[in-house]
A and B are shown apart, each in its own frame.
Chain A
């Protein structure tokens, strides 16, 4: 009912505006029929505004960089991520140069050649040489980018598994994550959603000998400097395992196993001491403190924040999509071993 009333009010408002327009129209004298076509004055004003506008674009770019530089992700915490960041930087520099020049030309020409009575435009319909130049330049530049990009991509995606690779299953479901480690035998046990029952939340085949020493956890621990191969599964709908600090992402697809591998290069402890991260955490805590001071009596008190790596779901997956996360801890091999030793194996969990 309220919605209907609102619509009615909007319609009536429109009618009122129209009536006002009518009165306005009647009150004006007769105009000449060219009144609504740009004249020299309009061209002049809008020409200058075009010039101002290109400065506005530069301004908003500079402002954004100045103001938002420090919200960006810190240095890559994985080995391949350094290559991605490098490529990103090069591409970014390139598109900025192109963007700055073309936007300038576009708006400057709009200003410089703004119409004037009696000004004669140049009849200039074709020039094969010019067109050849600006076809060939993008071709060369893009060829470079494509080749560079493809090398980077192939290096990341073609995973060679060796003795030392740590295989971890990432298991996604509405709305949480689980990680399964292969255990001492370095082989993940078979699993299928049809076997999900009680404590066997991931549907691991309990009779599979490889499954006995598997370890299921809800906090991802990774030893630094060791290649991790993630095998991703989903139980219900599409999810995406997104680990922004590691420049890593892969969809989790029900019915198939997807994979992504990287080598973490910076431990959580080290990252917490990274200058950018220290700054960011400080800023975040200032914001949280301020919020705590301004909040009402029944609001939840915000805890102070300490930095942790995180795994987010980045593919729309349902109502709680926005809160589907898992903590990632990157630590030294010793810390990792110690942590792993405390975890119960699947055989132990299922026996209970």
Chain B
């Protein structure tokens, strides 16, 4: 032990050598502490989430009651909602910005940014990220891009409104749609900064996981959360730069007269000079990020639930190696399936066949994951905390949404449902709702780690979960049917087609459920804010978890552990492990053996 104490003294010296005084600014604003940065990510993400969800409510109202007037449009949309009638251009702007905000700002930065930052150093036993400074820069770039995105809502001609996929020529030509003027410029600038932020963050995560693991923390002893964050960061590094290049080329097409994506265009009474470009090229570049993006959003959520399900089942996660292998397989496959967004884009049908093949392959690791989750529950002793409920909910929506993916990934079937509400229902369940559940699960579970031991109110958590769960299926189950009826997405109103008149009722049902589930999020917000200030401090390790973060100090200190960094002697999933003669748990009377606990006398050594 004396050797450890010595280490500790040195460590301590390294980290706190200068004993610089923390001012308000260095502690709360330009903080380089990963715990503070994670909170900054979370709160910025939640704020953007409020905007994104509020937007969805506005356009859901328009879809359900297209011929009614709502003063609320005038309040929020100003000149685009005059007389309580929503303008078609602002409808498109709302769906565009809703998609952008939810995918990038909430589910990429708000989810991966928050929990990668919080958990990577704490769970691998590091005092902070590899580079605290880059980490801070990453957050502030994200913040800047959020500000620009929000500012773009207020420009004269309206924000970007070419859909979140911003396909040119629509996104390149202000003549085609007003939102493609200043609004689109700001969108592109904001996203370029966002990508820089995401890359800095991802590089930092990768380096930290590779280099800063504590003694004994081999890669096969990493909690699945860390595996998920690590691989997510790798996918981000591989694919985000491609989006940046697409954005740069689009900027050049828009502002400098190049023709990467434009050719043979006659618009507003004149022929443009552009020749030789192809919008299909943009689609390839966009989806080369766009599809991995789905997994950038989803993998962290799956990592979080793996951890939470194991902890709350009081059982090891079933098939740890298979879980890691499927994360790797999903990550690899995710970079070669982008073409399934483009079956009918006009690309060679042979490519369609290839992408159908790779796309359906992804169902295999996904199925393995789902089965492993279910088996983890089997014969457990489930502690149904709110985080656990959201994790189970995630598996449920992941299955439902994943299964419809088998239909959409089949190029022949995609022909008739491409760009209909069937697709909208599919991806909202499989990545939107699932990832949001992962976010909520993470917040409920690690709230004590973020806010110095305080716990969120569980009863409000239960109410939040059950209303959200019912609302989410209520919104998206019926939505499949209007898609199968042939209703295209991104229609401002369906009244131009009498054929769709009988779908109005379904839209009313969907909107009603949307309002119910959005209402439930207010409960969460209240719970979050009030627990932040008045939450009851629970035990140091409230969920009786094995991972290292619960050994760190409850009070936030720079460097996480007041003493030496704990060493690791086992994997993270020794829950309910019995001793050799099966008379009691490894640690008598305690159904978990934390990672920093050395192998006990009467214990059988496992593979980890």
Chain A interface residues (CB < 8 Å from chain B): 2-3, 6, 14, 17-18, 21-22, 25, 31, 33-38, 42-43, 45-47, 49-50, 53, 56-57, 60-61, 64, 68, 70-73, 81, 83-84, 87-88, 91-92, 94-95, 98-99, 102-103, 105-107, 109-110, 113-116, 119-127, 130-131, 134-135, 138-139, 142, 145-146, 149-150, 152-154, 156-158, 173-174, 192-194, 196, 203, 232, 235-238, 240, 242, 244-245, 247-251, 253-256, 258, 260, 280, 283-284, 287-288, 299, 302-303, 305, 307, 310, 312-323, 325
Whether B413 lies near A87 (C-beta < 8 A) is yes
Residue on A with the closest CB to B410?
A: A149
Q: A102-B399, A106-B396, A194-B271 are in contact. Are A319 and B539 (CB under 8 A)?
A: no
Whether B88 lies near A124 (C-beta < 8 A) is no
The 5 closest A-B pairs by CB, nearest first: A255-B263, A244-B486, A157-B349, A258-B346, A36-B455
Chain B interface residues (CB < 8 Å from chain A): 67, 74-76, 78, 88-89, 92, 162-163, 167-170, 173, 176-178, 262-267, 271, 276-280, 313-322, 344-346, 349, 352-353, 356-357, 360-361, 363-364, 367-368, 370-375, 377-385, 388-389, 392, 395-396, 399-400, 403-404, 406-407, 410-413, 415-416, 418-420, 455-458, 462, 466, 469-470, 473-474, 477-478, 480-482, 484-486, 488, 490-494, 496-499, 501-504, 506, 526, 529-530, 533-539, 542-543, 573, 575-578, 591, 606
Which of the residues A46, A56, A99, A232 comes within 8 Å of B473, measured between beta carbons?
Answer: A56
Residues of A within 8 A of B485 (CB): 68, 71-73
Residues of A within 8 A of B481 (CB): 64, 68, 71-72
Residues of B within 8 A of A321 (CB): 92, 490-492
Alpha-carbon distance A71/B536, docked complex (angstroms): 51
Residues of A within 8 A of B399 (CB): 99, 102-103, 106
Residue on B with the closest CB to A46?
A: B384
Instruction: Kindly name the residue among B360, B462, B542 whose own CB sees the greatest number of chain A CB atoms within 10 A.
Output: B360
Q: Shortest CB–CB separation between residue B71 and chain A, in angstroms?
A: 10
Whether A18 lies near B170 (C-beta < 8 A) is no
Count of CB-CB pairs between chains A and B under 8 Å:
413
Whether B462 lies near A87 (C-beta < 8 A) is no
- In the assembled complex, 21 residue pairs joining A and B whose CB atoms fall closer than 8 Å, in A order, are A18-B533, A36-B538, A42-B458, A43-B383, A56-B473, A57-B400, A68-B482, A88-B413, A103-B399, A103-B400, A106-B377, A109-B378, A120-B576, A122-B315, A125-B573, A135-B367, A153-B352, A249-B416, A254-B279, A287-B501, A322-B88
Whether A284 lies near B176 (C-beta < 8 A) is no
Q: A18-B529, A142-B364 are in contact. Are A236 and B356 (CB under 8 A)?
A: no
Residues of B within 8 A of A315 (CB): 167, 419
Whether B266 lies near A236 (C-beta < 8 A) is yes
Which of the residues B76, B349, B373, B407 comes within 8 Å of A6, measured between beta carbons?
Answer: B76
Whether A130 lies near B379 (C-beta < 8 A) is no
Residue on B with the closest CB to A111?
A: B382
Alpha-carbon distance A174/B180, docked complex (angstroms): 15
Which of the residues B368, B381, B502, B542 comes within 8 Å of A115, measured between beta carbons?
Answer: B381
Alpha-carbon distance A1/B60, docked complex (angstroms): 25
Whether A314 lies near B419 (C-beta < 8 A) is yes
Q: A60-B477, A71-B502, A174-B267 are in contact. Are A253 and B382 (CB under 8 A)?
A: no
Whether A38 lies near B474 (C-beta < 8 A) is no
Alpha-carbon distance A253/B539, docked complex (angstroms): 61
Residue on B with the closest CB to A96?
A: B403
Alpha-carbon distance A46/B389, docked complex (angstroms): 8
Instruction: Kindly name the residue among A17, A57, A105, A255 whose own CB sees the greatest number of chain B CB atoms within 10 A.
Output: A255
Query: Assuming A121-B576, A249-B419, what are 7 further A-B pairs, CB within 8 angstroms?
Result: A42-B458, A60-B478, A71-B503, A113-B382, A131-B368, A238-B169, A305-B501
Alpha-carbon distance A237/B576, docked complex (angstroms): 61
Whether A33 lies near B537 (C-beta < 8 A) is yes
Alpha-carbon distance A18/B332, docked complex (angstroms): 46
Whether A92 lies near B407 (C-beta < 8 A) is yes
Residues of A within 8 A of B575 (CB): 121, 123
Whether A325 lies near B377 (C-beta < 8 A) is no
Q: Shortest CB–CB separation between residue B329 and chain A, in angstroms?
A: 10
Which of the residues B382, B412, B486, B496 comes within 8 Å of A153, measured between beta carbons?
Answer: B412
Q: A103-B396, A138-B363 are in contact. Are A47 and B384 (CB under 8 A)?
A: yes
Residues of B within 8 A of A135 (CB): 364, 367-368
Whether B320 lies near A114 (C-beta < 8 A) is no
Q: A123-B577, A244-B416 are in contact. Are A43 and B384 (CB under 8 A)?
A: yes
Residue on A with the closest CB to B576?
A: A121
Whether A64 lies near B176 (C-beta < 8 A) is no
Which of the residues B317, B377, B498, B506 comes within 8 Å of A68, measured between beta carbons?
Answer: B506
Residues of B within 8 A of A244 (CB): 416, 486
Residues of B within 8 A of A313 (CB): 488
Alpha-carbon distance A244/B483, docked complex (angstroms): 11
Alpha-carbon distance A94/B415, docked complex (angstroms): 20
Residues of B within 8 A of A288 (CB): 498, 501
Residues of B within 8 A of A258 (CB): 346
Alpha-carbon distance A252/B418, docked complex (angstroms): 14
Residues of A within 8 A of B316 (CB): 123-125
Which of the residues B470, B482, B526, B576 comes within 8 Å of A71, measured between beta carbons?
Answer: B482
Alpha-carbon distance A160/B346, docked complex (angstroms): 17
Alpha-carbon distance A138/B372, docked complex (angstroms): 14
Whether B314 lies near A115 (C-beta < 8 A) is yes
Instruction: Kindly name the residue among A152, A284, A319 whose own CB sees the greatest number of chain B CB atoms within 10 A.
Output: A319
Q: Shortest CB–CB separation between residue A80 and chain B, in angstroms?
A: 9
Which of the residues B67, B88, B169, B384 comes within 8 Å of A42, measured between beta carbons?
Answer: B384
Residues of A within 8 A of B368 (CB): 131, 134-135, 138
Alpha-carbon distance A57/B530, docked complex (angstroms): 33
Residue on B with the closest CB to A61?
A: B477
Residues of B within 8 A of A150 (CB): 353, 356-357, 411-412
Whether A237 lies near B176 (C-beta < 8 A) is yes
Q: Shortest CB–CB separation between residue A241 and chain B, in angstroms?
A: 9
Residue on B with the closest CB to A26?
A: B534
Whether A236 lies near B267 (C-beta < 8 A) is yes
Whether B356 lies near A37 (C-beta < 8 A) is no
Residues of A within 8 A of B266 (CB): 173, 193-194, 196, 203, 235-236
Whether A314 lies near B418 (C-beta < 8 A) is yes
Alpha-carbon distance A121/B536, docked complex (angstroms): 29
